[in-house]
Amino acid sequence: MTKSDNELDPLWQNLDWAIGQMLIMGWDGTEVTPQIRNLIENHHLGSIILTAKNLKSAEQTASLVQELQTIAHQAGHPQPLLIALDQENGGVNSLFDEDYICQFPSAMGVAATGSTDLAYSVAKATATEVSAVGVNLILGPVLDVLTNARHQLLGVRATGDDPQEASQFCNAAINGFKDAGVATCGKHFPSYGNIDFLGSSLDMPVITQTLEELSLSALVPFRNAITAGRLDAMFVGGCGIQNAGMSVTHACLSDQVVDDLLRNELGFKGVAISECLEMQSLIQEYGVKGGTVMAVEAGNDLVLLCRAHDVQLEAISGLKLGVENGIISKNRIYTSLRRVLRMKSVCTSWQKALNPPGLALLSKIHPSHLALSRKAYDQSITVVQDKENLLPLSQSLLQEEELLLLTPLVKPLPASAATKSMLEKGASKPTSLHERYAHQERGAIMSGEGVFRELGRSIARIRNGKLLHTSYTANGLRPVHENLINRASAIIIVTADANRNQYQTGFTKHVAMMCHMLRGTGQKKSLIVVAVSSPYDFAMDKSIGTYVCTFDFTETAMASLVRALYGDIIPRGSMPGTMRKNKKLSKTRQQWLVESFDRERDSSALGELLKTLARSSTPSLPYLTSQPQSFELFNPHVEEAHFVVRNSSTKTLYGFVATYFTKGIGAIGAIFVDPTKRNVSIGRSLHRRAMRALLQRQGLKKLQLGLTFPGVFPGVPVDESGSNKSWFDNVGWDTQFPTRLTNMIIEDLGAWTAPEGLLQSIQRASISFDLIHGLDNAESVLNHVATHAGPEVVELYRFALQETNISGVVRAKNSVDNLLGTVIICTAASQLSTYIPPLHSTHGEDIGGILAPIVPSTAQSTLILQGLAFMGVRQNKAHKSAKSVLSWVPNEAHEPLAAMGFEVQQTFDEITNSPEHWSDLS
C-alpha cells in the first residue's frame, strides 16, 4: 500500500507541485537555459528527458545533470528529478563518449548471440555507465515484437519476431538495468512491431491488428515483463489503432489503451509515460492543452513534452484548467503522484543525485566494458549461409587477387563518433513520417559513408593496401561498377535496410546475376553480401551464397565484421527469432547423453544454470529464489533421482530434471534447459530419461507433472501462449484435465486489514482454530492430510511440524472438535524457504508462509479456507513479516482469498497420467 493523501509530504497538497511531478520535459542545448530553470523552480517540473542535443561528453553530462539536480534541491523539491535517457545501444544512443562510454550491439544484435547472460551483462554495463553521469531512468528496453519482420519500423532496435524469445532477452535486459540501480521503461506500448502508414492525412502510423491478434504475439513481452515485476514504467506510443473493436487516433490519449488494456487487463501498476505530445496531428486536432488533459484522463502518469518551451507552458496551463473544470479530479492527480514518487524512491535519492560518481567510476570500469563490448559484437556476427565456403577470405582469396567493396550511400546512423559534428550543425533531420518514427529521438549521429570508408581501410590494411572500394546509389549499376566487378575476384556488397531502400535489393541482385554469368565464362567471382542493419534483407534469398549479418554499422560492429571475414574470430551468431528456431528444428533430432546428478560435481553448475534462467525467464520467481539444494529432500519416505545433460569438458550444465517417488506416486518436480540450448532436444532427452527412471519404480500407480514438496514447480507454469503445456503435449503427456494451483501474496502486510464481517461469520459458524507444533499431537492432522491430499503433501506437513517454534499447523475445528481443515504456518526462519521459492526473500525482507491449506469440499469450505488464511496472516504479522505468501490453493479457491486482499503471484497446472499411458517407454 502507498501513503494516502494525508500521509504525503504536506507540500504535495499544493496542486501546482503535484502537477509538476506529472510532466517530463526536455530542451535543446548543452547548458541549463532560463526556460528549463524556470520549469524546475517555478513550475516544479519533476522529470527531465535528455537527448543527444543536450549531451557532448560524459564529463559535460555529469556536470549538467548535477546542475539540474542542484536547482531542484535548492528550489525545495522533496525528491530528486527523474533524469531519463534513450540508450538502446546499436544505433540508438543519446550519450556517446569514446573515452568513457562503451558502444554495445543493438537489441537484435545481442539476441543474435543467443545468450541471455550476455544480454544481462550488456544492459547492466550500459546502465552502470549512464548512472555514473546521473541518469536514473533508462527508456528501455524495446519490448516490441517484429510481427511483420519485413515491414520494420523499428528494425534492429527490437529483439526479433518471436514473442517468447523477445521476452527472454528483454527480461534479462530489465534485470541488468535494475541491478545497476536505474529505473526501467518498456516501450512502445501496445507495439510498434507491425504498424502501417495508411496516409499522410492521419500523420500517424496505425496498428490494424485486433486485440486478440496483439495478445497472441505483440503483447506477450509486455505482459511477461509486467508479470516479472521489475518494470518501473511503460512508454505508451502515439500511434493510432484502427480495427473492428477499437478506433483510436493516438494510443497514449486513449483510456481503452492505458487504463483498460495496460492497467486492468495486463495488471501494470507502475508509471505510464505518454509519447511526446508535440505532434502536429495532435496539436491540430486537440490542441496541447486538450491533449495533455486527455493523456492524464487516459491514465498516463507522466506526460512527455520534448523541447518547445511555449508548448510546455501551454501543457501546464492545460492541466491546471483540467482540474479547475472538474475534468481531472484531485484523486486522479494523487494517484499519478504516488506512482511517480514510488519510482523515484527506488532509483534515486538526494545523496545519489547530487553526487554522481562521474569520470572516477567510468575510468575504472571502462577497460572491462570495452572487453565486454568486443565480446558482444564478436559473438553477434552471424553467417546465415556460406554455401561455397568463401569464409574466411584469407583462405579463399589469394593476396594478389583483387577484392571489391561496394557500400551504399545511406542516411546517417545514430550513435557513434565519426561525424557527431553533423548534429551540432543541425544535419540529418528525418524527411518523412516513416523516418520520424523509425529514428525518433535517436542519439548522436555518424555518416554511414564515413564508417564504410573506415571499413574499407581496415580491410585494405589486412590486404596490404589491395582493395577496390566504391559506393552505389539509387542510380543502380553504373559503368564504373561493371569495370570494377570485371577486375575483382571477390566482391563484398554491403546493404543497410534493403527492404526500406529497394534500390539496394535491385543493385545486389543485378551484381549477383553478373557474377553468375562471369563465373560461367570461367572467371572467379566470389560474392559475399553483408547486411549491416536488418538481417532480413536477403535472409530468405537462396541465390545469395554467402550472407553475413552485423545488426548495426557502428565502427565497433565493422571491426568485428573484419575479424570475422578474415578468420580472427569464428562467427557464432544466429538469426534471432523464428528463423533460429526453424533452423534448429530442421536439424536431425539429437539424442543427448543424460547422466545422473552428482551433488559434488554438479551443484555449482546447477547454481549457475538457475541464475541464467532467472535472468531470462518470465516470470523469474521459481529460478530467482531456487538453489541447487532446493531439489534434494533427503527424506527417508521419498526416493529421489535427478539427471543432467552436461558438457563434460567445461563442466557446464545444459539441462536438469528432478524426479521423486513416494507411496505409488512418481513425479517430475522440475525440468529446465539453458535458454541458449533450447530447441535441440535436450529437454526431450532429459524427459525420456526421467520417465524411464519413474516407470521402473516398484508399485507405481500414478505419474505426475509438478510437486508441492519440494515446491519449486507445483505444476507446469501457466503462460498466456500455452507454450509450456504444449511442450508436454508434444512429448506425450495428456494435459486435458489439470489441477490448477495458485500461489498468492499480500505484498504489504503492515497495511493489510481483515475484510469486514469475516470474523463474525466465522464465529456464527462455530469454527474455532488452534496452532500446534511438533509430531506428538499431529496424528489426526497427518491422517487428515493423507485422506485429502497426495503423499508429498503429508511429507510437507511432517517437515513443518518438526520445525518447532518456526513452523506449525493451524487446525480448524467445529463445535464438537471435529477437524475441518488445516494449513501450515511458517516464519522467515523456516527451512521450508529452501524448498518453496516464493518464501525465499530476494531483497532481505521477512516473508511469512501460509502453505498447503487442506479443506475438504463442504458447504462451509470457503469460510474455513478464509479463516485458515486469516489465522495465517495474523501469525505472519505477529512475527513481523513484511509479506505473506500463500502457496498454494487449488482450482477456483483463489477467488475468495482475492477478496481478502491476496493477489495472484503465479499459477501452475498439476498434471497426472496413468503409467499405462507410457507403456511404450516401460
All three cell numbers of 237, joined, read 506510443
pLDDT in tens, 376-394: 999 999 999 999 899 999 9
pLDDT in tens, 644-664: 999 999 999 999 999 999 999
Q: In this predicted structure, what is the pLDDT of residue 442? A: 35
Q: In this predicted structure, what is the pLDDT of residue 620? A: 61
Q: Is the peptide bond before 888 cis (omega within 30 degrees of 0)?
A: yes
Please answer whether residues 640 and 656 qualify as being in contact, where contact means their C-beta atoms are separated by less than 8 angstroms.
no
* For residue 76, pLDDT beyond 50: yes
Q: In this predicted structure, what is the pLDDT of residue 149? A: 58
Q: Distance between CA 397 and CA 492 in Å, rounded?
A: 12
Q: In this predicted structure, what is the pLDDT of residue 465? A: 78
What is the rounded average pLDDT of the residues 889-895?
A: 91
User: Nearest to residue 141, comparing CAs of 25, 77, 207, 232?
Assistant: 232
Q: Distance between CA 561 and CA 572 in Å, rounded?
A: 12
pLDDT in tens, 799-839: 999 998 899 999 999 999 999 999 999 999 999 999 999 99
User: Nearest to residue 574, comparing CAs of 115, 171, 891?
Assistant: 115
Q: What's the chain's Rg over C-alpha atoms?
A: 30
If DSSP codes are grouped into helix, strand and coil, which group holds residue 19? Answer: helix
Element (H, E) at 212: helix 211-216
Residue with grid cell 511483420, as numbered in its chain:
148
> Within its chain, how far is the Cα of 505 from the centroid?
33
Q: In this predicted structure, what is the pLDDT of residue 843? A: 77
Average pLDDT, the chain: 89
Residue with grid cell 571475414, as numbered in its chain:
565
pLDDT band at 284 (very low <50, low <70, confident <90, very high): confident
Distances from the Cα of 319 to the Cα of 162, 296, 313, 592, angstroms: 40, 8, 10, 63
* For residue 413, pLDDT beyond 60: no
What is the rounded average pLDDT of the residues 883-891?
A: 94
* For residue 424, pLDDT beyond 60: no
Q: In this predicted structure, what is the pLDDT of residue 418? A: 43
Q: In this predicted structure, what is the pLDDT of residue 152? A: 62
Q: Give the Cα-Cα-Cα angle 533, 410, 457 (nearest 5 degrees).
A: 85
Rounded percentage of the chain residues whose pLDDT exceeds 70:
92
Distances from the Cα of 537 to the Cα of 54, 407, 531, 544, 581, angstroms: 34, 14, 7, 11, 19
Q: In this predicted structure, what is the pLDDT of residue 286? A: 83
If DSSP codes are grouped into helix, strand and coil, which group holds residue 268? Answer: coil
Task: Decide: residue 23, CB within 10 A, 0-12 exposed, 13-18 middle, 19+ buried.
Answer: buried
What is the rounded average pLDDT of the residues 756-771?
A: 92
pLDDT in tens, 42-74: 999 999 999 999 999 999 999 999 999 999 999
pLDDT in tens, 426-463: 444 444 443 444 434 333 334 567 889 999 999 999 98
> Within its chain, how far is the Cα of 421 from the centroid?
34
Q: In this predicted structure, what is the pLDDT of residue 3? A: 45
pLDDT in tens, 262-271: 999 999 999 9
Please answer whether residues 172 and 616 qualify as being in contact, where contact means their C-beta atoms are separated by less than 8 angstroms.
yes
Q: Distance between CA 77 and CA 35 in Å, rounded?
A: 18
CA atoms within 13 A on the CB side of 500: 19
* For residue 919, pLDDT beyond 90: no
Q: In this predicted structure, what is the pLDDT of residue 429? A: 47
- The larger pLDDT score, comparing residue 86 to residue 543, is at 86
User: Nearest to residue 416, comparing CAs of 451, 444, 453, 458?
Assistant: 444
Residue 85, φ and ψ in degrees, nearest 5: -150, 140
Start-to-end CA distance of the chain, whole Å, equals 54
Q: In this predicted structure, what is the pLDDT of residue 508? A: 96
Rounded percentage of the chain residues whose pLDDT exceeds 90:
73
Q: Distance between CA 413 and CA 405 in Å, rounded?
A: 19
Q: Distance between CA 879 and CA 862 in Å, rounded?
A: 26
Q: Where are the beta strands (DSSP E) in 183-284?
A: 183-189, 195-196, 206-207, 233-236, 240-243, 246-248, 271-274
